[in-house]
Amino acid sequence: MEMKTTFILFFAIFILASCHQKQATQLNKHDEKIDSLIAVMTIYEKVGQLNVINFGGNLINPQGEEIDIDAAIQEGLIGGLQNIRGVDLLTKLQKLAVEKSRLGIPLMFPADIIHGTEVIFPIPLAFASSWDLKGIEEISKISAKEATALGINLTYSPMADIARDPRWGRVMEGAGEDTYLTSAITSAVVKGYQGNDLSDPSTFGACVKHFAAYGAVEAGRDYNIVDMSWRRLRDVYLPSYKAAFDAGCASTMVSFNDINGVPSSSNTYLLRDILRNEWGFEGFVIGDYTSVGELVNHGVAKDLKHAGELAINAGLDIDMASMAILKHVPELIEEGKVMMETLDAAVKNVLRVKYALGIMDNPYLYLDKKREKEEVFKPEYLQAARSMAQKSMVLLKNKNQLLPLNKNIKKLALIGPFVDDNNTPMGGWAFGGSHYESIVSLLDGIKNKVSDNTKIIYAKGCDANNEEADQIPQAVQAAKSANIVVVALGEPLDMIGEARSRTSLNIPGKQMELLKALHKTGKPIVVLLFSGRPLLLDWIDENIPSIVQVWHLGHESGNAIADVVFGDYNPSGKLTMSFPHSVGQIPIYYNSFRTGRPYQENYRWSTHYMDSPNTPLYAFGYGLSYTKFEYSNIELSDSVLNKKGKIKAIIKVKNTGEYDGTEIVQLYIQDLVGSITRPVKELKGFELVELKKGEEKEVRFTIDIEDLKFYNNELDFIAEPGGFKVFIGTSSDNVKEAKFALD
């Protein structure tokens, strides 16, 4: 080997080794101290570390006596208390652990910080539509700053569950249907939460959930079963969790579902073989709320004791709220059904995270009255919330450029159940904050925006979800008297989120009746859709000129919507879930496998419906702008990709419209001939490109062999030589294409 090559090789190995080292050391650098501590712990103190519960109520200790939380903390029977906040309360509890328990091991205080703590950001499905990784990292950092100022040191987030079924209510908590994009977003969120140093008191630990494949629950019914090929699991569902671990994620939460018959809480293949042995994960695994106890309901455990045995032996460390491990592992050890080494390993995983968070050295690190006072609800956090809300909206239709509206409109009618509403924009999982009253409703946002010459006429029209139609005539009158009508429709909070699966994705109640009555007035109408999932929009798309998907946008909702409606922000968001024409099309996703009978006119093409197109109404990656972007043809730096090489795919994008704007340029790849069927296309890159009016930019993507790999049926992760198509464009269904070959 030549001198120069040898040097480069050593240098590369050194870089790789030090990167790996850096990731690992956050969690394992205190291992010796942890081993010494475990050596002096009683069996009860050990199971105590594996017990995380809600604050409040009594619990049973391993001796079967009822005790309260204070007593349990002093006996060392609690490892963490979840979903509480406030420095005074948490300091009092921490003192009990540190000063009154025998070993003084501090408590962990985890919470569900999903899209903000005090300042509420857009729901995750909304902020995913920004595709803006930097912005997402930034809001995650702010979530961490605020939460840690309130004493919280770990969050049960991000949710990396790939979701192809909008009937599932939890689609709002994730980044949508695509593996590549969800992985990138998950990684950005973890980096934002954890920063470079977990023991920095303004960062907290992340807990990626729900491991694994929770988004694939059959028929979109929450908590249902998952039955799928191992190949699909690895190819589509696992990479987004893996992305979190690669970003250093400190912990993971298992899913409620089973996979091919084995619930995640007792799934050795998932928790030991894949997570620990293949991926080398060193943080802790926590059950979901009572998921360990639920092994009895699944019918794989005969009672709570058996559930505890299965879970800990499978590699689950912390039992959230079912107390199976706390109550039963001591006797299971005596009976030889759980080995002491297994218990010790679980405790070690938990203590690693406690050390990494810095609380073993300073239990009061996150309990700082000054920070609690000064570091929450800052104006710059609200500014970040507004900016992310602007980027999260997706312009679905804009016939004849009805939008943006003029700020001097004479009479503007604002109609619908979500106009004068500062509750819905908060979105699910935003509990606990103390600033809800300052969430900006659409009505206030628009009032803040329009000129003094504009008269706003507000009419509710109907409630979000009941059968009363008596307010509709009044709303029609309001519309008739206005120049433009803006209608805010959608889904109320209690229809979306955990345990809120739906079989109908219609806009509920009398809202469509209201819209149809308004449409009859012949006035120009803009529809704003408040929802946490794709809804069925065919009628709206056929009849209404302008539609904006506004999701649930958090604190600055009304201001950000007004920014878009009146053109102070040119919408740039793109859908991360396909919007179907009907529930019958579900699951529908852009990267489906090729079939033997693709579309052919007048032929029995495969996956053909008699009563519906095969394609969705709005495809993955779709979203309009007030301006227009024109794409050149793709240029490839080479038509052949060498296994160790790279090729560049280059395209020019020009802003040919009347506004400055940001375009999300998307790159997809298709493997033309595979040893197994391959998807029609898969996202493998994207760039956010800001273009001034008239400006053109060259966008360059690099493709290498990693972008071409997939799991075959032997579960080997491989790239196969042969032909590939590369597509670049503005959405998954509007692209230019070129071809290359892998050598």
Q: Which is nearer to ligand BGC, 156 or 569 (CB)?
A: 156
Where does residue 11 rank: exposed (0-12), middle (13-18), buried (19+ CB within 10 A)? exposed
Q: How far is the CB of 7 from ligand BGC (least distance, A)?
A: 49
Between CA 551 and CA 571 the distance in angstroms is 14
Q: Which is nearer to ligand BGC, 38 or 320 (CB)?
A: 320
Which of 258, 288, 317, 368 is labelled catalytic? 288
Strand partners, 351: none
Q: Which is nearer to ligand BGC, 51 or 454 (CB)?
A: 51
| Contact positions with ligand BGC (CB under 6 A) in 100-139 | 112
Between CA 699 and CA 716 the distance in angstroms is 33
The contact mask relative to ligand BGC for 197-236 (x = CB under 6 A, - = no) is: ------------x---------------------------
Residue 328's identity, in one-letter code, is H
Q: Which is nearer to ligand BGC, 159 or 518 (CB)?
A: 159
Does residue 421 belong to the site contacting ligand BGC (CB under 6 A)?
Answer: no
The contact mask relative to ligand BGC for 286-305 (x = CB under 6 A, - = no) is: --xx----------------
Give the CA dihedral 687, 692, 698, 703, nearest 10 degrees: 0
Q: How far is the CB of 90 from ligand BGC (least distance, A)?
A: 17
Question: Which residue sits closest to ligand BGC, CB atoms considered?
Answer: 156
| Beta strands 525-530; 484-490: pairing state | parallel
Q: Which is nearer to ligand BGC, 124 or 508 (CB)?
A: 124
Q: Are 203 and 615 in contact (CB under 8 A)?
A: no
Q: In 583-720, at which residue ranges do the beta strands (DSSP E only) sit?
A: 629-631, 635-636, 640-641, 646-655, 661-671, 682-691, 696-704, 710-711, 717-718
Q: How far is the CB of 735 from ligand BGC (least distance, A)?
A: 36
Residue in this structure with the two tokens 């079963």, named with its chain if needed: 225
Q: Are 245 and 24 in contact (CB under 8 A)?
A: no
The distance from CA 527 to its chain's CA centroid, rounded to whole angstroms, is 26
Q: How far is the CB of 360 from ligand BGC (least distance, A)?
A: 24
Q: How far is the CB of 272 from ligand BGC (least distance, A)?
A: 22
Alpha helices in 222-364 (DSSP H): 230-232, 239-246, 268, 295-298, 304-314, 324-334, 340-357
Alpha helices in 272-426 (DSSP H): 295-298, 304-314, 324-334, 340-357, 369-374, 379-392
Q: Which is nearer to ligand BGC, 31 or 112 (CB)?
A: 112
Q: How far is the CB of 288 from ligand BGC (least distance, A)?
A: 5
Strand partners, 514: none
The distance from CA 214 to its chain's CA centroid, rounded to whole angstroms, is 12
Q: How far is the CB of 210 from ligand BGC (least distance, A)?
A: 6
Between CA 96 and CA 101 the distance in angstroms is 7
Q: How far is the CB of 286 from ligand BGC (least distance, A)?
A: 9
Q: How far is the CB of 64 from ligand BGC (least distance, A)?
A: 26
| Contact positions with ligand BGC (CB under 6 A) in 473-532 | 498
Does residue 196 sit in helix, strand or coil?
A: coil
Q: Which is nearer to ligand BGC, 187 or 291 (CB)?
A: 291
Residue 350's identity, in one-letter code, is V
Which helix (H) or strand (E) segment is 581 a member of?
Answer: none
Q: Which is nearer to ligand BGC, 77 or 113 (CB)?
A: 113
Q: Which is nearer to ligand BGC, 82 or 662 (CB)?
A: 82
Q: Are 521 and 476 in contact (CB under 8 A)?
A: yes
DSSP string, 721-732: SEEEEEEEEEET
The contact mask relative to ligand BGC for 148-167 (x = CB under 6 A, - = no) is: --------x-----------
Q: What token pair was written down for 525?
A: 């109408």
The contact mask relative to ligand BGC for 244-283 (x = CB under 6 A, - = no) is: ----------------------------------------
Size of the site for ligand BGC (CB under 6 A): 7
Question: Is 288 among the catalytic positions?
Answer: yes
Residue in this structure with the two tokens 């040097």, named with its chain if needed: 7
Q: Are 391 and 243 in contact (CB under 8 A)?
A: no
Residues contributing to the site for ligand BGC (CB under 6 A): 83, 112, 156, 209, 288-289, 498
Which residue numbers are catalytic? 288
